[in-house]
Amino acid sequence: MYQNTIGFRYLAVMIKSTLSTLLLIFALFTGIANAQTSGQITPEERAQAMEYFIQGITDFENEDYEQSLDNLTAAHLKLSDNPGINYALSDVYLAMEDYSNASYYAQIAANSEPENRWYQLQLAEIYRQSGRYEAIIEVFDTILKYHPDDVDVLFLKAQAYVEFGQLVKSNETLDKLIELRGSEFELHLRKFQNFNAMQQQEKALKQLEIMRELNPGNLSTLHSISQYYLELDDEEMARETLLDARERNPRDPQTLILLAEIFINNEEWENLGETFFSMIEDPLLYPTQKMELVQFLYAQHQQRPEEEILVNQTQKAIMAFSRNEAEYGPAQLIASEFFIQQNEPELALETLERASEVAPEEPDVWSQRLQILFSKQRYEEVIDLSERATEFAPNNAFVLFFTGASYMMTDQYELSAKLLEEASNAPARRNFRSIIYGTLGDVLQELDRWDQASEAYDMALRLDRNNHNALNNYAYFLSDRGENLDEALEMAERAISIEAENAAYLDTIGWIHFKMGNYEEARTYIQKAVDTGDASAEVYEHLGDVYRELGDIENAEIWWNRAFELDPDRNHLKERID
């Protein structure tokens, strides 16, 4: 982006470059008619002043400012009105950020030779660094009085007006430059920026059109012109400008993205497809450039998920990208992400399998692949894949978690606890670490390591107080142990406030009431759990237990029977029923 200080950086470079010419200036001392005439200073004193001056300049170039100041001051004592010595002294004080003294000596030099642009520019630089912006304009006006066609100073003056917000005067100065030098791209760019800052869109657009004539192949200018036409509600001219840009460089992604926005706004899906597919199929375009196009299209789809044609176009583009750039890992990752969003896990897995071959170093390849396999309850495959995943994604919280959780689901609790503890120490976001600790609590509970399980649940809730699964499980196990039932009830109520229709959560709060002796309340909640249609055999058993405590043995046996039918391994229920 344009920086307003560029002109003054140029000024500082101009000033700095003149120091090396000071020796030449001093060589002209003998010909300068200053207040100190040849009758007032001897040749020996002039030679000594010359020696001090040369040494002072050498010290300055070596950045020994204190020593430079001593030598130049000694020279100044002998030739106090000499502009070259005063100029050099001002430069030393400026380097020391002593703006008062820098200004004093620079003013003497400038007053001695007002037509000398270098002395005046030194003064302008001092005013710039000390924040006296309005004084800078006075200096530039003095230079232009003697050198009215000095294009460098005119340019600096235009930039100085920008510094303190006088954009109209900046443009007037730029017009003077255009008169002197003719139309130049840079000058019209500056005018465009000023009109743009003043929100004068039509005048800004006029400058862009001039820039377009001066450099018709400049894509950045064509892009800016198109956006200005859109702001002026002239979509046809915006389209024409972008089509011109596309004709000049058919492989520029930014041009295509800007065109695509017009196509999407007008629901021109065929034009959109032609624009993107030709680029994605282009073997000369870099994969990173194609990625930019696909990401744009994918983002549009995410904003309009209900637009069926856009869904199809996005899928077509992503699949083409994945196919044509089979060796490019990010192409496979974005394809898998799209398939996951479209609830097509098998296609996502196929894509991730390819990605793990071409880009095994990408951690997301493994974490996504394991996550999908876990969600499909293919726990053995997760475990089998985990060794290779860990090789390429060591200390990855997702890889460790899904592997540990798979061991938990296959009743291998010791291995599960080991991996989940490793996952809890791996870098991850707070909410995911909360999930890890909550799952670790479940596993430690199965291992009958209750104190450690309790600590894991506490950590899970410190990391995320709304981790409803941890809230529910912690509450349930507390109730099952008959401990801290009031605290358990509070946690269960928080869990149910987040997922009101969760059968397991409804059962937990009902079971806590059961343990507290609130049998009617227990029946209400556990019946709600059954009514969700997702109740497990354990929920049916709990409802039978509630009816038994209410003295309704007939209903108790009905629910125990249903529990036994759902889970024939509950042999203790058969004994109750018999």
- Summarize pLDDT for 179-237 with one digit per residue, the tens: 998 988 889 889 988 998 998 988 988 888 888 888 888 898 888 888 888 887 888 88
Structure tokens at 357: 């071959």
**For residues 353-361, average pLDDT:** 88
On the question of pLDDT at 241 being above 50, the answer is yes
On the question of pLDDT at 380 being above 50, the answer is yes
Q: Higher-confidence residue: 297 or 85? A: 85
Q: How confident is the model at residue 5 (pLDDT cuts 50, 70, 90)?
A: very low
pLDDT 10s digits, 270-292: 777 777 777 788 887 889 988 98
Q: Is 199 left (phi over 0), alpha (psi -120 to 50) or beta?
A: left
On the question of pLDDT at 551 being above 90, the answer is yes
pLDDT 10s digits, 141-192: 999 999 999 999 999 999 889 988 899 999 999 999 999 989 888 898 899 8
On the question of pLDDT at 1 being above 50, the answer is no
Q: Mean pLDDT lowest for which of 207-221, 357-371, 422-436? A: 207-221
Q: Higher-confidence residue: 2 or 512? A: 512
Alpha carbons 133 and 525: distance in angstroms, whole number = 76
pLDDT 10s digits, 55-92: 999 999 999 999 999 999 999 998 988 999 999 999 99
3-state helix, strand, coil in the chain (%, to 5): 80, 0, 20
- Neighbour-count burial of 100, counting CB atoms closer than 10 A to its CB (0-12 exposed, 13-18 middle, 19+ buried): exposed
pLDDT 10s digits, 392-414: 999 999 999 999 999 999 999 99
Q: How many CB atoms lie within 10 A of CB 191?
A: 24
Structure tokens at 334: 């974005």
Give CA separation, 323 vs 35, 105, 211, 281, 355, in Å. 85, 72, 41, 10, 11
Q: Higher-confidence residue: 572 or 529? A: 529
Res 499: pLDDT:
94
Q: How confident is the model at residue 490 (pLDDT cuts 50, 70, 90)?
A: very high
Contacts by 42-49, CB closer than 8 A, 24 or more apart: 45/78, 46/78, 46/79, 48/78, 49/74, 49/75, 49/78, 49/79, 49/85
Give me the helices (H) in 342-409, please: 345-358, 363-375, 379-392, 397-409
End-to-end CA distance of the chain: give it in Å, rounded.
84
Q: How confident is the model at residue 251 (pLDDT cuts 50, 70, 90)?
A: confident
- Highest mean pLDDT: which range of 296-300, 506-510, 572-576: 506-510
Tokens 């204190």 belong to residue: 66
Selection from 154, 152, 121, 115 nearest residue 139 by Cα? 121
Q: Higher-confidence residue: 134 or 456? A: 456
Mean residue pLDDT across the chain: 87
Selection from 8, 114, 105 nearest residue 56 by Cα? 105
Residue 552: phi and psi, rounded to 5, are -105, 80
pLDDT 10s digits, 336-356: 889 988 889 999 999 999 888
**For residues 295-308, average pLDDT:** 85
- Neighbour-count burial of 54, counting CB atoms closer than 10 A to its CB (0-12 exposed, 13-18 middle, 19+ buried): middle
- ∠ Cα 246 193 142 (to 5°): 140
Res 529: pLDDT:
95
Q: Give the rounded percent of residues in the chain with a pLDDT score beyond 70.
A: 93
On the question of pLDDT at 6 being above 60, the answer is no
Give CA separation, 220 vs 54, 71, 279, in Å. 50, 53, 20
Structure tokens at 501: 């229709």
